[in-house]
Amino acid sequence: MIVVEYIRKHFVQIVSYLLAFLFIYAAFSKAIDFEAFQVQLAQSPFLGAFTGFVSYGVLIVEVLVAMLLLIPKRNRQGLFGSIGLMTAFTFYIHLILLFSDFIPCSCGGILEKMGWGEHLLFNIVFLLLAIIALYVSAKEHHVDTKKEFKYVSWVMLGNMLLVIAIFGTSEHIMRTQNSFVRRFLQYPIIEDGSLKLDNADYYFAGADSDHIYLGSRNLPQLLTTVDTGLAKTYKMKILPDNLDHSFKKIEVQVKSPFYYFYDGTVPVIYRGKLGDPKAQTVSFGDAYFTQLAVLDSGKFAIRTQSSQTKDLVLASFELLGKPKVNFYPTVLQKQVDGFFDVDGKLIGGGDVGNLVYTYSYRNQFIVLNKNLEVLNRLNTIDTTTIAKISTASLSDGQHKLSSPPLRVNSKSAANKNFVFIISDLMGRYESRKAWKNAKVVDIYRMDRQEYVGSFYLYNDNGKSVSDMLVTEKYLYVIIGNKLQRFYFRKPLYDKNITGEAENLIVKSRQ
């Protein structure tokens, strides 16, 4: 009875102390590992775009409310602040339970050990205690309780509307106006097969419905065929009809039912039928090129150098065309020198049939149709809009890089309506430890400005990804001397492949 009487008499003070302890403890847990706290916030589609503001704002507000609760003359304001905070936290978790499979929020300490339902109940209990304490305080100080609860209703409604507004705005920013905050998808790919290769010099030459094809940098005449189950391997030595050329960079590319064996420095292109080692010359001396993408059996997209401006340009090349080569000098947009600043990777867009050119040193990729007409110029989520390169002119008229450039995009692959880009830049609020042990892959749509999400491809025995290939069902990667196959947890063509964020550090919910 004595305890009950004491609680009744000092109820407001007890609840205030409990709330103050809760907020101080939560703030301390966040502050002691602030980097992890920000990483977790960045993964939430509700808060990701406002990670910087929210991470500092929550800590400041929690400490401020705790101080108000501990000052007798400011206790009423502290209770209103507690109701506002607990309403926002509770409503946030409620939205997570309704609309998300798994989204890490952020609190820390013992609270992170609770399940979603337990934490929701925990917050509701403390929210009710704060409301009851405010009611008791109003009665003790002869304050109009109806008026007081009118204020409480406005505080609760205002905080719920604030959470909704932040969620809607954050989601829009994360997808279309991202300021380099990655959203790591929750297990978007799952490894289900691997094949040990005899060396680490292989690259992907193409794929069809039943096979993937590998070229070799060390043995350029070797074309290796692997079934999609990674069970059977067939090697074939390509035998061109003429090898009397000064080859410098031989590559092979497959577009069923043909393979193409070429060197743009000669320049020469051979074509052979899959399964037949004999390849015939289909082009010799028509156009020099540094990159080639096969459009069909007699048409190609190439990257070459303008003889007049010395800039890199894209061109179409048709074996039976008149003229054979048509230049498109406005596709690649010059920023610094027209050569290094427009460097990038030209790839075919898988089943879509489009081409994608990803700049190496700026945050942009270009989607083109088979006629090399620009469909979209889209941005990656990093903020490098201008290529950060420095060049020097030599006495012989050549230009060289005078310092190492800042590489933005490393490798890319495309299929259906998606582009997969391996980025060389670490985003905001990301784990440095993860970056040391993995490459990050960002996914974008081709048809509009939309960032879908990211995932890690982890190193294997100290080796990182050297090449990747995307088909409708699988992602294939070469890491060292291992070929790995991953299947997509959701189909690549699923329009609902949206941001289920991965918990990178530790679960937390307040």
Whether the predicted pLDDT of 402 surpasses 80: no
Which DSSP symbol is given to 50? Answer: G
- Mean per-residue pLDDT for 312-322? 95
Whether the predicted pLDDT of 398 surpasses 60: yes
State the virtual CA torsion across 493, 494, 496, 500 in degrees, nearest 10.
-90
Same structural domain, 221 and 148: no
- Mean per-residue pLDDT for 159-165? 84
Same structural domain, 203 and 119: no
The order of strands in the sheet holding 299-305 is 291-296, 299-305, 312-318, 325-328
Same structural domain, 158 and 206: no
Band (496; pLDDT cuts 50, 70, 90): very low
Do 26 and 106 meet the contact criterion of CB atoms below 8 Å apart?
A: no
Tell me the C-alpha distance between 3 and 10, whole Å: 10
Of 124 and 240, more confident: 240
Domain membership of residue 126 as a residue range:
2-176
Beta-bridged to residue 222, according to DSSP, are 237
- Mean per-residue pLDDT for 89-97? 81
Same structural domain, 209 and 264: yes
* 498: phi then psi, degrees, rounded to nearest 5: -115, -175
Q: Which of 45-54, 248-257, 322-331, 361-370 has the lowest mean pLDDT?
A: 45-54
Same structural domain, 88 and 151: yes
Residue carrying the six token digits 């609020």: 429
Residue 444 to residues 175, 495, 510, Cα–Cα distance (Å): 9, 12, 30
Tell me the C-alpha distance between 462 and 464, whole Å: 7
Whether the predicted pLDDT of 498 surpasses 50: no
Whether the predicted pLDDT of 112 surpasses 70: no
pLDDT value at residue 500: 39
In a domain, 504, yes or no: no
Whether the predicted pLDDT of 247 surpasses 70: yes
Tell me the C-alpha distance between 111 and 118, whole Å: 10
In a domain, 440, yes or no: yes
Band (226; pLDDT cuts 50, 70, 90): very high
Single-letter amino acid, residue 201? D
Same structural domain, 248 and 120: no
- Mean per-residue pLDDT for 25-37? 81
**pTM score of the predicted model:** 0.72
In a domain, 500, yes or no: no
Region of 416 (left: φ > 0; alpha: ψ -120 to 50; beta: rest) is left
pLDDT value at residue 347: 93
Same structural domain, 476 and 382: yes
Whether the predicted pLDDT of 106 surpasses 60: no
pLDDT tens for 424-437 read: 888 877 777 888 89
Q: Which of 11-15, 115-119, 454-458 has the lowest mean pLDDT?
A: 115-119
Band (300; pLDDT cuts 50, 70, 90): very high
Of 314 and 492, more confident: 314
Whether the predicted pLDDT of 64 surpasses 50: yes
Tell me the C-alpha distance between 399 and 394, whole Å: 6
Same structural domain, 320 and 171: no
Q: Which of 325, 320, 313 has the alpha carbon at shortest distance from 286?
A: 325
Tell me the C-alpha distance between 369 and 358, whole Å: 15
Same structural domain, 429 and 295: yes
Band (356; pLDDT cuts 50, 70, 90): very high
Tell me the C-alpha distance between 346 and 304, whole Å: 11
Same structural domain, 372 and 468: yes
296's enclosing H/E stretch is strand 291-296
**Domain final residue pick, 109, 141, 176:** 176
Domain count, the chain: 2
Of 110 and 296, more confident: 296
In a domain, 13, yes or no: yes
- Mean per-residue pLDDT for 442-462? 91
In a domain, 428, yes or no: yes
In a domain, 72, yes or no: yes
In a domain, 510, yes or no: no
Residue 331 to residues 257, 317, 323, 325, 414, Cα–Cα distance (Å): 30, 16, 20, 15, 19
Same structural domain, 198 and 140: no
> What's the CATH number where 255 sits?
2.120.10.30
Band (474; pLDDT cuts 50, 70, 90): very high
Q: Cβ contacts of residue 351 below 8 Å, gap of 6+?
A: 415, 416, 472
Single-letter amino acid, residue 280? Q
In a domain, 182, yes or no: no
Same structural domain, 80 and 24: yes
Q: Which of 460, 458, 477, 479 has the alpha carbon at shortest distance from 468?
A: 477
State the virtual CA torsion across 429, 434, 438, 439 in degrees, nearest 10.
0
Band (395; pLDDT cuts 50, 70, 90): low
pLDDT tens for 366-393 read: 999 999 999 999 999 888 888 888 776 6
Do 202 and 215 meet the contact criterion of CB atoms below 8 Å apart?
A: yes
